Amino acid sequence: MRFKLPTLRPVLAVGALLGLSSCNPEESGPGMAPAVTAACPVTVKTAGTNPTVPRFTSGHVRSWFFFNSSSSNVSIGTKTCVKSGNITSCTANNFGSYVPANGQIDGDVTFAVGAAGLGTVALWVYLGAPCNLTLKAPSWKISID
């Protein structure tokens, strides 16, 4: 059962305007920027702008910033890169085992592309207590020349 807290609406609106995604598995997903939830203090946003890369190349890197607003570290478990379109491979890089208390950590993926066209890469990260869920970070939209 989910409870709606009307007093959080102004905070949620600010989070959405900043392009932050939350740990809420019911509201998170590639390409979405849902609002911050009270249960999980970690938010994530893309770091930069959507790139254009040459066709049939590899070694491209995209990053996200994970922010923790609590006074406790939040552990990071499984990291998964999710790809679509003309992205031929995608690997989540090892970027640490926790999001520090009142701090941030950068997370990245390395990917390769095929023929000209479009694709996306996204990062899914399992976050420990108090989140205990998989955060689905916003997708990067990749243009391939």
Q: Any idea what the CATH number is for the domain that residue 85 is in?
A: 2.60.40.10
Structural domains counted in the chain: 1
pLDDT tens digits, residue range 67-124?
A: 999 999 999 999 999 999 999 999 999 889 999 999 999 999 999 999 999 999 999 9
* Residue 74, CA distances (Å) to 18, 26, 88, 94 in order: 22, 20, 32, 16
What residue numbers bound the domain in which 117 lies? 6-144
Determine, yes or no, domain membership for 103. Answer: yes
| DSSP states of 31-64 | T--PPP-SS--EEEEE-S---EE-SS---EEEEE
Determine, yes or no, domain membership for 1. Answer: no
- Provide the pLDDT for residue 39: 83
- Provide the pLDDT for residue 85: 98
Determine, yes or no, domain membership for 31. Answer: yes
Determine, yes or no, domain membership for 10. Answer: yes
pTM over 0.85: no
pLDDT tens digits, residue range 8-56?
A: 333 333 343 334 444 444 344 444 444 345 689 999 999 899 999 999 9
- Provide the pLDDT for residue 135: 93
pLDDT tens digits, residue range 124-140?
A: 999 999 999 999 999 99
